[in-house]
């Protein structure tokens, strides 16, 4: 079977090359802060590709953790949920 190259197969190596090229060009133009930022982006790309952990997953885990903590808090103090109509009536 002849398996051709897909765009997805080339996306990772091409993105690493583009980031490395940007870092090199920025460093040549004496913009070391942006070059360092590009290196950090490249490290993140390699890390997320190798481990599968992404910033989006981290954010979702944090939001779910906060939500679970808030639900546990309301259950432990027997507090009802937020009611927008009661808040409107309290303001009037």
3-state secondary structure of 61: helix
Q: Where are the beta strands (DSSP E) in 1-92?
A: none
Query: Model pTM greater than 0.85?
Result: no
CA–CA gap between residue 41 and residue 64 (Å, rounded): 26
Whole-Å CA distances, 30 to 16, 17, 25, 36, 76: 21, 20, 9, 11, 57
pLDDT at 44 over 90: yes
Block residue for tokens 């927008």: 84
pLDDT tens, position by position, 65-92: 998 888 887 777 777 666 667 777 778 7
pLDDT tens, position by position, 6-15: 887 888 999 9
């Amino acid at each position: 079977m002849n398996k051709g190259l897909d765009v997805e197969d080339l996306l990772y190596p091409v993105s690493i090359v583009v980031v490395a090229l940007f870092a090199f060009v920025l460093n040549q133009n004496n913009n070391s802060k942006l070059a360092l930022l590009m290196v950090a982006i490249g490290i993140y790309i390699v890390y997320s590709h190798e481990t599968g952990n992404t910033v989006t997953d981290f954010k979702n885990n944090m939001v779910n953790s906060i939500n679970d903590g808030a639900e546990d808090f309301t259950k432990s103090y027997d507090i009802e949920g937020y009611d927008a109509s009661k808040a409107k009536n309290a303001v009037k």
